Structures are given as C-alpha cells and as structure tokens.
Structure 1
Amino acid sequence: MAIYREKNFAERRDAATTAKKALLEKYKAKPAADDPAVLARQAERKAILEARAIREAEKEKLRQERLAREAAEKAEREAKAEAERLAAEAAAQEEASRREAEESDRIARVLADDAERKAKRDARYAARKSRVKRMPPSANYG
C-alpha cells in the first residue's frame, strides 16, 4: 500500500513547467490554416451549421403552421360557442315570450271571470231592487 506523500515546491514547479512545454509543443504542432485536414473540418462544420439552419427553419415553419391551425380551431370553437350562445338566448327569449303570453292569457281569463261574476252579482242586485220597488198588492189595503 502506497503512502501519500505531499509534493514539495520544486516538484510542483517542475510539473507546471512540463505542462507549459507540452502546451507549447501542442500549439506548435497545430496544422496551418491551409492544411487539407483543417479545410475539411471547416467544410464539415459549415455543412453542419447549414443543416442545423435548415432544420430550424423547418421547425419554425411547422410551428407557424401549428399556431395558425390552432388559431383557426380556436376561432371555429369561439364561433360555434357564440352561435350556441345566441341560440340559447333566442330559445330563452322565446320561452320568456311564451310564458308572458300564457301569463297575459291567464290574467285576461281572471279579469273576464271577475267581470262575469260582477255582471251576475249586479244582475242579482238589480233583480232584488226591482222586486223591492214593487209593492205587494196587499200593502195598499192596510
């Protein structure tokens, strides 16, 4: 089993210097801009970016179509709901008119019945009065 040993300053400095040299060598080994591998990699990246742009444009087109379709469906639903609301209002208005007509008929019948009862009562009253005004024949001999 290895025992952990802390590195001293010189070892850390040497490790940092080695790492810097490795980075410098890697940078120096970098191919030039006109290297065919670099150009191929750039062309590949450009093709990827163009393909991504095409996909994004298609996605946007599909999104716009979906939004337009949803807006049309929403407008259709709202128009249908408005038509149903208007039909319900018309039915309610018709029902109210029918009830009002029934109420008017009932009131007219009640008033006609009251007028008929009053006419009968008045006729009875007039008949009674006419009987009272006539004096019986025996009343003159008294």
Structure 2
Amino acid sequence: MTTRLNPYLNFRDRTREAMEFYHSVFGGELTMSTFAEMHASEDPAEQDKIMHSQLITDNGLTLMAADTPNSMDYTPGTNNFAVSLSGEDEGELRGYWDKLSDGGDVAMPLDKAPWGDFFGMCTDRFGIPWLVNIAGEQQTSA
C-alpha cells in the first residue's frame, strides 16, 4: 500500500448521513465503524456515532470522516477537518510525524491504537491538524 494523503472531515452526529451522500455523489466503496464496534466510548449516547468512515472511489479519491465525541469542541469551519496520512511504510510515516509535530501541538502521541495500527494526532506550527495512521501487522488466517 502506498501512503495516502486525504481530507478527514468531522461532523456532530451527521457523519453517516454525510458519507452516504458523498457515496451517492462519487460512488466507490464506503465503510463505517461505530464507537461501539471500536470500543471507543463508555458513553451510551455515543455508541451509534461513527468513529471512522472511509470512502474510496474507483478513480482513486479517498475521503474519511468521523463524528466528534460529545466531550470535544465542534466548531464548523474551524475544527471540523484534518489532513490524514495513512499507509504501511512505518519509517516514512514516522518521519512525516516527527517533522509535522515539531514545533506544533501533539493532541495524541503516535502510539498503538485499539484497532491495532499506530495512530497520532497533532496540529502543525501553522495550525493545520494532522492524523497519522501506520497500518499494523496484517492478520493471516491459518
């Protein structure tokens, strides 16, 4: 897998609706996981929220989105987007992380995530939020 650079949008309880709309516009394959499926929140009101969604089109477009947790600020136009870097090349992605986070603000250190990948969130020195995801070991069935 190559490293992908794509927008990551945040919504307040409208990710499913928005991503189904974008799917109708662009086609492709849409996947969604809830907070409950990912064991990402103890709050019963958040169980059906979308923790992560991804639309990959046949012509190579990628769009990701998630619902903002109730405990986090949500201000459309200010904090409802990020740029995502994802792939399997750990050295390349850690290098990007180190440079992007240098002089910026690390919201979540690049570390092992509940879904098995390495994941981190930072805002660079120019105020742009970044998400970095390094794919974990792929499971093979025996």
TM-score, normalised with respect to structure 2 = 0.12
Say which structure, 1 or 2, has more relative contact order (CA 8 Å, 6+ apart).
2
Q: Comparing both structures, which one devotes a greater share of its residues to helix? A: 1
Q: Comparing both structures, which one devotes a greater share of its residues to strand? A: 2
Structure number with bigger Rg: 1
TM-score, normalised with respect to structure 1 = 0.12
